[in-house]
Structure 1
Amino acid sequence: MASRYHETYEAWRRDPEAFWAEAAAEIDWVKPWDKVFDPSLGGYGRWFAGAQCNTCYNCLDRHVERGRPGQPAIIYDSPITGAQASYTFEETLERVNAMAAILVDHGVARGDRVIIYMPMIPEAVMAMLACARIGAVHSVVFGGFAARELATRIDDATPKAIIAASCGIEPGRVIAYKPLLDAAVEMAVHKPDACFVLQRTQAPAELTRPQDRDLGALMDEALALGRKIECVPVEATDPLYILYTSGTTGQPKGVVRDNGGHMVALKWTMENHYGVEPGEVFWAASDVGWVVGHSYIVYAPLLHGATTVVFEGKPVGTPDAGTFWRVIAEHNVVALFTAPTAFRAIKKEDPEGKLIGDHDLASFRTLFLAGERADPDTLAWAEDKLGVPVVDHWWQTETGWPIVGNPVGLGMLPVKHGSPTVPMPGYDVQVLDDAGHPLPAGTLGNVVVKLPLPPGCLPTLWNAPERFHASYLEDFPGYYKTADAGIMDEDGYLFVMARTDDIINVAGHRLSTGAMEEVLASHKDVAECAVVGISDSLKGQAPCGFVVLKAGVNRPHSEIEKELVALVREKIGPVAAFKLAITVERLPKTRSGKILRATMRQIADGAEYRMPATIDDPAILEEIESALKDRGLAV
């Protein structure tokens, strides 16, 4: 079908307030707004000022009341434990009511904070919704986070209560959460009133502190009594949650998300961007500890009346590189949203895509990729092997929903590999030089968004308005700084090339590491790669490429590395000064799959570095250091 994108984007541009007022009609409001947008509030203005609402009501109650009580709301699939379960909207509402009752019984009220420290289990979703139901502000901390990192979040959010599980389960290991939680509470200055622990059979916890409560036992009791808690009306501009993201100072930044604008934006995206209908099954293969989990495991699908999948597993190793196809086939998933890293891992293990043929993917329509730059080679592989549209899109923890994408629901635009396509309504995306001047098409520069940001984006940082202004609004007055570097082409397509920190200066030339990674990834033997700029006494910085080879590649590494150097020289030119490619077994990543390029650069430069809180496996850093020392670096 012909795309309606251009007319939709122009409708927003002509009258942003009318556009978002129309979108807001999809949400049930306790009280309508006084102003669609009030520019006098907050750092750059606030959406739906004066309105009252409740996010949990819009996710659950209204679907139960209007014909969806028996439709699955949550499908739980855990290849790690072998467990599966399905909860209808009515059953989910019963459990959320029970959890809300427990919180209320322990003094948690509107505006209080609750930290959630859980793995990928249905109760994590229910805990978030229970907080939203009573107007409490949740802050999900990725399960298994180090005690010191959890302690900093406890002190910043000052929670009334913590909801945790006794353990998380990774392939081949069980991670006990309770000792980490106890150590964090011990370190923290702020002490929560209660710690609710859901006991998992793989590693039950000892509940020895006076604040400890057995969440499962309390839930059983509340369910047996049929406890019901009415939804608490909150202001549209009240916070729904705080989600901490890494800060350059080492002190995490608490991204705030409001209630009203968040619902409006997410509900709009499900139909218009993702092309999903109410009643269909949508799967975001992420974790509730990340923004993708908040937006597209929990809130957006449930607001829309779709079914969401809670998956406790990995793209490979649980048990193999075909687990994604099994989940899609068994649960009739119509759209999958995951990180490019997941597909690179699948491609490395099953380069021919043979495991795809073992499953009936008749229901599957669209693959969405986001979270890290999607290299054209991985996109082309996914298109070829799956035979469905592969949609790269780009957004951030701070925005909560896509800044740039290819709107499936409005009709897809032509795909350009390497580009997440075009700005979504609400986002006036521009590319500026360092002095804030617009750059011509095809020129690398700073990607910014003209203020105001649309509904659903962060209005501030938790208890840190000055830091919010300094981090995002100060460098380019009138714009939000994404801290990404990119190019806008003559058709208005954005190419996000790297974080601005990853733009390297080689003998006065500003070069994109993302462009070099594209070239390396195009080599037939390369599964994934990362390029970082390392200190060079002559040129200032020099690029260094780390590559992981596909399974079954038996050629000498030195031979492949020479080919890679020649390939970059051919495709980008001598200006890149690319002379160093290093083969490694693995790349260091966060648990959400982002490659830790800054840490790799610090190791290569021999600089002191802080162990990233989100790192998946710290041992990989030692492997990187060893590989660099073999080349006379990292000394």
Structure 2
Amino acid sequence: MPETYEIGLGNYDTETRKSAESDFVSFWGKQAESLHWFSKWNNVLDWDPPFAKWFVGGKINASYNALDVHQEKRASKPAILWEGENGESRTLTYRDLWVQVQKLANALKSLGVEKEDRVTIYLPMVPELPIAMLACSRIGATHTVVFSGFSASSIRDRIDDSKSKIVITADGGYRRGNIVKLKDVVDEAIKDFDFVKNVIVLERTKNQITINQKDKLWKDLMNNASENCEAEPLDSLHPLYILYTSGTTGKPKGVLHGTGGYLTHLHSTFKWAFDIKDSDVFFCTADIGWVTGHSYVVYAPLLHGATEVMYEGAPDFPDASRMWDVIQKYKVSIFYTTPTALRMFMKFGDDIPNSFDLSSIRLLGTVGEPINPEVWKWYYRVIGKEKCPIIDTWWQTETGGMMISPLPGLETIPLKPGSGTNPVPGVFISVVDEKGDDVPANTKGYLVIKKPWPGMLLTLWGDDEKYKNVYWSKYKNCYYPGDYAIKDEDGYFWLLGRADDVLKVAGHRIGTAELESCIVSHEDVAESAVCGIPDEVKGEVIISFVVLKENCSKPSTELKKELIAKIRNDIGAIATPKEIYFVSKLPKTRSGKIMRRLLKAIASNDKIGDVSTLEDGAAVTEVQNAFEELQKSMKK
């Protein structure tokens, strides 16, 4: 039986779940009333599987709900406390944001941007990024944010697919003390795109750039723009943004999100999960180039009039104390980060975070991948000082917002390290077998969502057929997110990794997350990543790459024996890796996720593909060298 932690914020609201379960459509209609609508909807849900239309006929605007609604009571309240990697800082109030957004919205209009035109935003983590998103949403333009680590070819694909009229970028951005030359990348990406009418350039680093005929300087446009721009009443189904998911093969998929349903989902889940109060300082470490940044850095906090910290650079630059320094400096009360980042912080030991005053924190959260139980316990003990609930959230780019999470703002339930607990109210999730039948408790299976939810994607941009095939073809009228999971006897969900990452060894299915958590639970291990390689007898054999904590001094042969014994004891002999390799680092994206597809590609001798989001290329070289050693040893 997993350990449970009886800790919460004293909230007990059984009525919310009861009403959601009895009539989920009316339930979401009631939640939507918390937002400002220019005119109310005629129908809460029009469900024509697999297409859902939420709040049909309603008129709403995301920018208005994020800014205008706060001007009477919160105009002088800080909205964004921005910290640059180079030590710069800025504070923008809700009035500051409101004025800047209106000016940029007018600037976009002056360049011919109209309702439903697309605007690509390729900016570093500076306040001008949310300002650009909110300016687009104010006038009904559809924004498509591209992560500032992507290469010219990746940006080119996205701009071409969306046919963006405008690109907003900067001369550069800071990353680990270096300047990333964003404007140069954009110049290369759009050099023969006639449909791109203008490029708006923000001055951030003052590095030398080429000013082309299409280029307009941000400061010039803003100096000439009016401060007044009324928010456009938009249909609830109006396309708010396209966010491209980078697939391992083929071109990225353009996930299209609407407005009314998406905002309703975010407003509700942010309140339930974070128990947000007017006095809170919220800090989500996600880059806005990913969906967590869209949903829980830009839209959800601003919908609630929250104060949040926005940080520009790498989480461990100039050293491993940076995040704790930021939390201490701004008295952060809610901290939301990735398990990968936590494993990195664990590697450096407890002394660093213990040397900072983290007493302002009252709630912790994780996002991006399943959290290993041992990492959860470290987070709870060292960062939360055994007094803070941890919300372990599961959701995707496609779902728009949280789908599984503890909800301290709604209810207090026992927490189990490594489990996301229950679906949010109004969301119906099951674990099923290949035929789509619910499996018994504690049985591995496939995660499915059985009913529509407000934050769900409208479709894939320009490709309804692909939307049907990718998400709705495996199980009739059920959304299949591609995840492997277990539901325990208490109804708690445990995510075991992507279904296509499930290892099949001698007919047995082993989730990568389950095996990695077992390895990380060893006292000397900081991080682990596993993958499978083809084997004539077993179908697949497992190899594991392991990063040790800095203070570990045990010989590798002894550690390998201990890890193998632990795996055999905790999971079973079938999960024993063919080989364990100790490396100093794993290949990760700049947002902190382990790039497991690189491990699989290296292990399969396939092409590595686009690595423009990779944080440190030396990690790939180290893993490649380790795998080459493995191949040599297997031939002997």
The within-5 A match list for 1:47-66 is: 47-64=54-71, 66=72
The within-5 A match list for 1:64-75 is: 64=71, 66-75=72-81
Q: Structure 1: any 5+ residue segments left out of the alignment?
A: none
Which residue identity is paired with 1:234?
L
Contact 2:14 2:411 in 1 (8 A): no
Is 1:378 the counterpart of 2:375? The answer is yes
Residue 166 of structure 1: which of 171, 187, 190 is its match? 171
Q: Which stretch of the first structure deviates more once superposed, 279-288 or 555-564?
A: 555-564
Is 1:35 the counterpart of 2:34? The answer is no
- Matched residue SS, 1:578: coil
Distance in 2 (CA, whole Å) between partners of 1:393 and 1:32 is: 31
The within-5 A match list for 1:184-583 is: 184-186=189-191, 189=193, 191-207=195-211, 209-222=212-225, 226-316=226-316, 318-349=317-348, 351-352=349-350, 354-386=351-383, 387=385, 388-452=388-452, 454-583=453-582
Contact 1:47 1:237 in 2 (8 A): yes
What is the percentage of aligned positions where both structures have the same residue? Answer: 39
Which residue identity is paired with 1:342?
A
Contact 2:179 2:205 in 1 (8 A): no
Aligned-pair CA distance for 1:172: 3.1
Distance in 2 (CA, whole Å) between partners of 1:502 and 1:5 is: 38
Distance in 1 (CA, whole Å) between partners of 2:104 and 2:253 is: 28
Distance in 1 (CA, whole Å) between partners of 2:612 and 2:74 is: 41
- Matched residue SS, 2:479: strand
Which residue is 1:23 aligned to?
31
Contact 1:348 1:527 in 2 (8 A): yes
Distance in 1 (CA, whole Å) between partners of 2:396 and 2:278 is: 25
- Matched residue SS, 2:460: coil
Q: Structure 2: any 5+ residue segments left out of the alignment?
A: 1-8
Structure with higher RCO (Cα < 8 A, 6+ apart): 2
- Matched residue SS, 1:430: strand
Cα distance change on mapping 1:608 and 1:171 into 2, 3 Å: closer
Residue 144 of structure 2: which of 139, 142, 153 is its match? 139
Cα distance change on mapping 1:385 and 1:429 into 2, 3 Å: same
CA offset digits 1:81-132 (Å, max 9, x no partner): 1100101111111111111111000000111000000010000010000001
Cα distance change on mapping 1:214 and 1:612 into 2, 3 Å: same
Distance in 1 (CA, whole Å) between partners of 2:376 and 2:247 is: 31
Contact 1:561 1:583 in 2 (8 A): no
- Matched residue SS, 2:587: coil
CA offset digits 1:418-448 (Å, max 9, x no partner): 1111111122111111122221111111111
CA offset digits 1:145-195 (Å, max 9, x no partner): 1000000001111011010011111113211111110111026x5631000
Cα distance change on mapping 1:563 and 1:29 into 2, 3 Å: same
Distance in 1 (CA, whole Å) between partners of 2:10 and 2:83 is: 37
Aligned-pair CA distance for 1:204: 4.0
Aligned-pair CA distance for 1:509: 1.0
Distance in 2 (CA, whole Å) between partners of 1:115 and 1:407 is: 34
Distance in 1 (CA, whole Å) between partners of 2:497 and 2:205 is: 43
Aligned-pair CA distance for 1:248: 4.7
Aligned-pair CA distance for 1:202: 4.6
Distance in 2 (CA, whole Å) between partners of 1:611 and 1:67 is: 47
Aligned-pair CA distance for 1:321: 2.4
- Matched residue SS, 2:173: strand
Q: Which stretch of the first structure deviates more once superposed, 135-144 or 509-518?
A: 509-518
CA offset digits 1:317-366 (Å, max 9, x no partner): x23322222222222322111111111111112x12x2334333332101
Distance in 1 (CA, whole Å) between partners of 2:206 and 2:218 is: 16
Which residue identity is paired with 2:103?
A
Which residue is 1:117 aligned to?
122
Moved over 4 A (4+): none
Aligned-pair CA distance for 1:284: 0.7
Which residue identity is paired with 2:67?
L
Aligned-pair CA distance for 1:595: 1.4
Contact 2:256 2:459 in 1 (8 A): yes
Aligned-pair CA distance for 1:612: 4.0
Which residue identity is paired with 1:384?
R
Which residue identity is paired with 1:214?
L
Distance in 1 (CA, whole Å) between partners of 2:11 and 2:19 is: 14
Aligned-pair CA distance for 1:6: 4.8
Contact 1:338 1:368 in 2 (8 A): yes
Contact 2:40 2:59 in 1 (8 A): yes
Which residue identity is paired with 1:178?
K
- Matched residue SS, 2:471: helix
When the two structures are superposed, what TM-score results if normalisation uses the length of structure 2? Answer: 0.95
Number of aligned residue pairs = 623
When the two structures are superposed, what TM-score results if normalisation uses the length of structure 1? Answer: 0.95
Distance in 1 (CA, whole Å) between partners of 2:187 and 2:372 is: 42
Contact 1:43 1:469 in 2 (8 A): yes
- Matched residue SS, 2:382: helix
Is 1:88 the counterpart of 2:96? The answer is no
Contact 2:50 2:477 in 1 (8 A): no
